[in-house]
Chain A
């Protein structure tokens, strides 16, 4: 009989070894983006990235965090989506949603990437908001992605493209 009791206990223990809901800690910057309009049919993906320094040239366009390998595409089938950026502690001048067109490559980046929305300065919504991340206190910021207004990145170069 002891073996039966032990057997039941083992089964119960085995079934409980998987954990339930776990905290989904924000790894640095996280929040919710709200979508305006529908994503174009040519959409390959939309990513959120963060820049320590605002990219004013094509050379600095790919200096974002997190690394390319850690990028996660946003789910686009809802009215909004939660995002989480695993970034290091520091100051970030631009947290931006990047729309990627099908057929993207580094060679045609100027024509296949678009800025789809960014976190704005609460005091001056015409300007990007600066985000300070420290190891103890992750940052939660929300902003809007507007699929109807997606300027190319060269709009922000110095000088900007026409």
Chain B
């Protein structure tokens, strides 16, 4: 009952608190169970108010008056949630002692429904990775962080949620990326630039599984990945992070391709300053990698910034942006006899490139600017307006191609909490985007040309609590216009329910997802694998009905089980296909496949059985069939199993994670690549950490066994990489 009360208050209070007119102050200290000070973060749930403790654990937090929920956190410790009531002008002293527990059990607040809600209220599965998870994994990039989430698998940089995307040779993604709610898929190819946002900026990653088009429109075909960036604390804060490491050499002398060990390194600096009304942060960084294969070096420069203005209670204006310049050599495919200058007598050389790709190189610049106005009008109603500009510009050398795309987006959303509570919540909005590309590869027959696409999508979703049941129903209507001609109108409904019971919360949902063909898929004109690729401007959106039945349940006080059965019926999937054009075999993207993906997505997180020890198991079973050919769907491994464990003892932590991905049974373009070797993936990551005051050191060894494998044709997955991350926080 007490837990229910806290959960209810958690959901209601942000709206009431934000509507208050004056402010008060909470001061105190944060420490561990032994009384040692922690540089934790204190924040008011549902508002931007937050403060970071100093090296002696002291903090000072300005809060709205009335009843507020305070959330206290620190890496490696369980969050504490505190409810306080405070009058205008008062100050209150609160000291918090945090207990070591790397796995966060509950409550977790997610934004899958375009407004804050508890994880147990979501009608669809959501996997959350918070800053504790990210720090513990010591990963360096956003895709590395997302890759180990339950139900998620990357195939050569392309994200799959429950087998959604497969591998589509870099064109299109069946997963939508959001950065603080702003769509960030490429305007031309529709893919995801995972280096768009520095990982240092990311506080939390939410992976919404299943079709999400009823709220998010195109590309949310198989799910949504939402990156939530850090709030800016009051006062001066800074962080310096240095990274260094090395790649393992090939395990066989016959595969050796260089005389030295490949290295990697990077440096990023973040500084922020905040007052009660104005806050800003800036991150600058750079990275270099020698790569783990022949012709695989890369250099990257990145910057990200954010500014917030809180002119009055209940109003927040945010400006944010990021820019990344990435120059990287391209490893097109590994070489096989007859295609490379040096086979050393091998049937294939996974570390070396085929001679036709020698000198391939890409310069990729990308970035975004976003402005958001959040206004809490009352305890019952709030609205948000945002505008964004997303740009991607790549230039390929050998073959020489280039493309510039600009995507202008806007969205207006209103959220009504009827009667000020969360028993009835209505979300209404409209989202629009204008994309234009200029390119010599997505043009007309290889000539430079431009194309535009306009997407407009009004949407509405209502949530109603009836006893223990929380019902959800939503609808979105998307209109897609390409080069001035209406191409498609797509209706995406969704219904769902979350039912609290004695055995956790049951979830059931049914929804429609769709993905409009990207401008690149419609107009691509190039050569691939020796074949001409020809455009197909008349492509239709691919669609899917997605069903889920799941349960999320705490297990005593030491664990949490999440399990879901999913079933997706997809139609008109876009796939590259061999066609005869004038008697010549060519490749064209067509709507051809009907597919069925069904399976089980389950995870178990265990904590507190032994002090400091946490473990997790996640398993994904995907039965994916191409119903057109009655064969296994390409690029969908049947089993993905992830085992992880971490142990923390005072300032030290150690951990390990193992992932097994079964052999991919079928690939596309079988006549070209079908005879290439493919094996199951078995990857073990090891990690260790040390933290004392403002300093921390993390050691990460990925693919510690140096297991050599590939997931997509003739593309070697990363070998063992050892890296050290040193962080100083002010």
> Taking beta carbons and an 8 Å cutoff, which residues of A are in contact with B?
1, 4-5, 8, 11-12, 15-16, 18-26, 30-32, 34, 75, 77-82, 84, 137-140, 142
A23 B680 Cβ-Cβ under 8 A: no
8 nearest A-B pairs in the assembled complex, by CB-CB distance: A26-B345, A32-B338, A24-B347, A138-B345, A20-B708, A20-B709, A23-B252, A12-B658
B88, CB-defined interface residue at 8 Å: no
B338 A142 Cβ-Cβ under 8 A: yes
A26 and B346 in contact, given A1-B609, A142-B337 (Cβ under 8 angstroms) = yes
Quote the shortest CB–CB distance from B451 to chain A (angstroms): 34
A20 B679 Cβ-Cβ under 8 A: yes
B345 A15 Cβ-Cβ under 8 A: no
CB-CB under 8 A from A34, the residues of chain B are 338
CB-CB under 8 A from B615, the residues of chain A are 4, 8
B707 A82 Cβ-Cβ under 8 A: no
B337 A31 Cβ-Cβ under 8 A: yes
Quote the shortest CB–CB distance from A2 to chain B (angstroms): 9
Q: Digitize B665-699: 1 where CB-to-A-CB distance is under 8 Å, 0 elsewhere.
A: 00000011011010111101000000000000000
Tell me which of A19, A78, A84 contacts B671 (CB under 8 A): A78
A82 B336 Cβ-Cβ under 8 A: yes
B682 A20 Cβ-Cβ under 8 A: yes
Specify the chain A residue showing the minimal Cβ separation from B658. A12
A12 and B338 in contact, given A23-B346, A24-B346, A140-B345 (Cβ under 8 angstroms) = no
B565, CB-defined interface residue at 8 Å: no
Quote the shortest CB–CB distance from A73 to chain B (angstroms): 14
A80 B675 Cβ-Cβ under 8 A: no
Alpha-carbon separation in the docked complex, A12 to B336 (Å): 32
Alpha-carbon separation in the docked complex, A81 to B674 (Å): 12
CB-CB under 8 A from B675, the residues of chain A are 75, 78, 81-82
B660 A84 Cβ-Cβ under 8 A: no
Alpha-carbon separation in the docked complex, A140 to B238 (Å): 58
Alpha-carbon separation in the docked complex, A11 to B641 (Å): 11
A21 B337 Cβ-Cβ under 8 A: no
A21 B710 Cβ-Cβ under 8 A: yes
CB-CB under 8 A from B613, the residues of chain A are 1
B709 A8 Cβ-Cβ under 8 A: no
A5 B645 Cβ-Cβ under 8 A: yes
Alpha-carbon separation in the docked complex, A115 to B358 (Å): 36
Quote the shortest CB–CB distance from A27 to chain B (angstroms): 8
A30 and B610 in contact, given A15-B660, A16-B705, A25-B254 (Cβ under 8 angstroms) = no
CB-CB under 8 A from A31, the residues of chain B are 337-338
Across chains A and B, the number of contacting residue pairs, with CB separation under 8 Å, is 87
22 A/B residue pairs, CB under 8 Å, sorted by A: A1-B609, A1-B610, A5-B645, A8-B615, A8-B643, A12-B684, A15-B641, A15-B658, A16-B658, A16-B682, A16-B705, A18-B682, A20-B682, A20-B707, A20-B708, A21-B716, A23-B254, A25-B254, A30-B337, A32-B338, A138-B345, A140-B337
Quote the shortest CB–CB distance from A25 to chain B (angstroms): 6
Can you name 20 extra interface pairs (CB under 8 A) apart from A1-B610, A26-B347? Answer: A1-B609, A1-B613, A4-B615, A12-B658, A12-B684, A18-B682, A19-B707, A20-B679, A20-B681, A20-B707, A21-B709, A23-B255, A30-B347, A31-B338, A75-B675, A80-B338, A82-B347, A138-B345, A140-B343, A140-B345
Alpha-carbon separation in the docked complex, A15 to B338 (Å): 35
B:590-630 near A, CB below 8 Å: 609-610, 613, 615
Alpha-carbon separation in the docked complex, A4 to B671 (Å): 46
CB-CB under 8 A from B682, the residues of chain A are 15-16, 18, 20
B338 A21 Cβ-Cβ under 8 A: no
CB-CB under 8 A from A140, the residues of chain B are 337, 343, 345
How many residues on the B side are at the interface (Cβ–Cβ under 8 A)? 38
Specify the chain B residue showing the minimal Cβ separation from A17. B682
Specify the chain A residue showing the minimal Cβ separation from B613. A1
CB-CB under 8 A from B710, the residues of chain A are 21
Specify the chain B residue showing the minimal Cβ separation from A140. B343
CB-CB under 8 A from B610, the residues of chain A are 1
Alpha-carbon separation in the docked complex, A15 to B641 (Å): 10
Specify the chain A residue showing the minimal Cβ separation from B253. A23
CB-CB under 8 A from A81, the residues of chain B are 675
B517, CB-defined interface residue at 8 Å: no
B37, CB-defined interface residue at 8 Å: no
Specify the chain B residue showing the minimal Cβ separation from A84. B347
B:232-267 near A, CB below 8 Å: 252, 254-255
Quote the shortest CB–CB distance from A158 to chain B (angstroms): 34
CB-CB under 8 A from B708, the residues of chain A are 20-22
Q: Digitize B623-654: 1 where CB-to-A-CB distance is under 8 Å, 0 elsewhere.
A: 00000000000000000010101000000000
B348, CB-defined interface residue at 8 Å: yes
A32 B337 Cβ-Cβ under 8 A: yes
Quote the shortest CB–CB distance from A1 to chain B (angstroms): 5
Quote the shortest CB–CB distance from B42 to chain A (angstroms): 34
CB-CB under 8 A from B609, the residues of chain A are 1
A16 and B348 in contact, given A25-B254, A75-B675 (Cβ under 8 angstroms) = no
Most buried by A among B347, B613, B658, B677: B347
CB-CB under 8 A from B350, the residues of chain A are 21
CB-CB under 8 A from A23, the residues of chain B are 252, 254-255, 346
CB-CB under 8 A from A142, the residues of chain B are 337-338
Specify the chain B residue showing the minimal Cβ separation from A26. B345
A12 B346 Cβ-Cβ under 8 A: no
Quote the shortest CB–CB distance from A112 to chain B (angstroms): 27
Alpha-carbon separation in the docked complex, A26 to B671 (Å): 24
Specify the chain A residue showing the minimal Cβ separation from B706. A20
Alpha-carbon separation in the docked complex, A89 to B678 (Å): 31
A11 B671 Cβ-Cβ under 8 A: no
Alpha-carbon separation in the docked complex, A142 to B347 (Å): 12
B:145-201 near A, CB below 8 Å: none
Most buried by B among A8, A12, A24: A12
B684 A16 Cβ-Cβ under 8 A: yes
Alpha-carbon separation in the docked complex, A138 to B710 (Å): 26
A30 and B345 in contact, given A15-B660, A25-B254, A78-B671 (Cβ under 8 angstroms) = yes
Quote the shortest CB–CB distance from B37 to chain A (angstroms): 31
Q: Digitize B298-338: 1 where CB-to-A-CB distance is under 8 Å, 0 elsewhere.
A: 00000000000000000000000000000000000000111
Specify the chain B residue showing the minimal Cβ separation from A75. B675
B:419-450 near A, CB below 8 Å: none
Alpha-carbon separation in the docked complex, A32 to B345 (Å): 11
Quote the shortest CB–CB distance from B422 to chain A (angstroms): 39
CB-CB under 8 A from A5, the residues of chain B are 645
Quote the shortest CB–CB distance from B507 to chain A (angstroms): 28
